[in-house]
């Protein structure tokens, strides 16, 4: 497993992207809407680990509730894995609770799966595997 990105929940990509571009001295290299998660994302790279800014695409979404409860800030930590299904089986056998039974399409050309924060000391963990080109 390798750290792939840190997800940051934001109220507005339009307001947040310029702030992080200035901070990192780089530009946003990709924005997209992820239908399976009902979010809009923007990716920035300031080194070996990327930042994913995430905005809820619809009101009432779990990310909207997260923002209402906690405000903007770190939402999840994502780890790149070679075989997401094998890693899901391994982690479940180790006692971690999966939020997803099957991997689903995610942002930045990846399959994704989340682990429940209660099984990882309050941290939402995302597993991601690059889709073949």
Q: In this structure, what CATH number is given to the domain that contains residue 102? A: 3.10.180.10
- Residue 115 structural domain: 2-130
CB-count exposure of residue 30 (10 Å: 0-12, 13-18, 19+): middle
Q: What angle do CA 67, 69, 74 make, to 5 degrees?
A: 50
Bridge partners, residue 56, by sequence: 39
Distance CA 62, CA 67 (A): 9
How do residues 32-91 score in pLDDT, each as one tens digit? 999 888 999 999 997 888 999 999 988 888 898 899 999 999 999 999 999 999 999 999
Q: Which tokens go with 72? A: 């903007």
Quick one: DSSP state of residue 16?
H
pTM of structure: 0.90
Q: State the total domains in the chain.
A: 1
Positive or negative CA dihedral for 66, 113, 119, 78? Answer: negative
Average pLDDT of the chain to the nearest whole number: 94
Q: Which tokens go with 32? A: 């997209």
Distance CA 133, CA 49 (A): 21
């Amino acid at each position: 497993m390798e750290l792939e990105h840190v997800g940051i929940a934001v109220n507005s990509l339009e307001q947040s992207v310029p702030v992080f571009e200035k901070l990192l001295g780089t530009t946003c290299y990709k924005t997209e809407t992820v239908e399976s998660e009902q979010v809009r994302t923007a990716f920035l790279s300031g080194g070996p680990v990327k930042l994913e800014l995430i905005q809820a695409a619809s009101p009432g979404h779990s990310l909207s509730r997260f923002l209402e409860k906690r405000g903007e800030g770190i939402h999840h930590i994502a780890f790149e894995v070679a075989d997401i299904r094998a890693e899901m089986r391994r982690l479940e056998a180790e006692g971690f609770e999966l939020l997803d039974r099957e991997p689903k399409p995610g942002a930045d050309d990846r399959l994704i799966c989340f682990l429940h924060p209660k099984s990882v000391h309050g941290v939402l963990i995302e597993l991601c595997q690059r889709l073949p080109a």
